[in-house]
Amino acid sequence: MKTLGILAAMTLALASFADEKAIADKIGVDVLATTRTSDLKHFDHATGVRVGYDLSKRIGAVLEVDGSDFKGSVVENAFAGVKLTFPTGRVSPYLIGGFGMKFPDKEEYLAGGLGLSVAITEKVSVFSEALGEKSKRTSTTARFSVGVGYRF
């Protein structure tokens, strides 16, 4: 949890150096469906929410939570990271990476990967991404997500 707090503080500090756009114009919310697997035989499915903040046209900070059931922890994963976007019109490939924590056992992990976002309108987009997650205690996990995003 300490790691996520540090990343949130870094995000706020970097936001003070952002360009002249209004703060509301830099915020986005994504709803995503995620599948994780470490052996390509067993899959865990989850839904989540991601909040993003554009530090510049190409660099953004993201905070994400997801969960798959309401029996134990509602939040099963929390992630904080940086997104590097390469805008090419309506289609924008991107790299994403950062730190996360799996609950309820508080297992920290590093994650990184790539994605592709397609703008449907000026404010709405769809995206798909693939990330690898690696922690000290478990094997590498592949994570695949699809979702819909809205930019304010």
* Position with higher pLDDT, 83 vs 7: 83
Q: What is the pLDDT of residue 2?
A: 63
pTM for this model (two decimals): 0.82
- Rounded Cα distance between 6 and 104, Å, is 20
Confidence of residue 5 (pLDDT cuts 50, 70, 90): low
Strands (E), the chain: 27-37, 44-54, 59-67, 77-85, 91-102, 107-119, 124-135, 141-151
Confidence of residue 26 (pLDDT cuts 50, 70, 90): confident
- Name the average pLDDT for the chain: 86
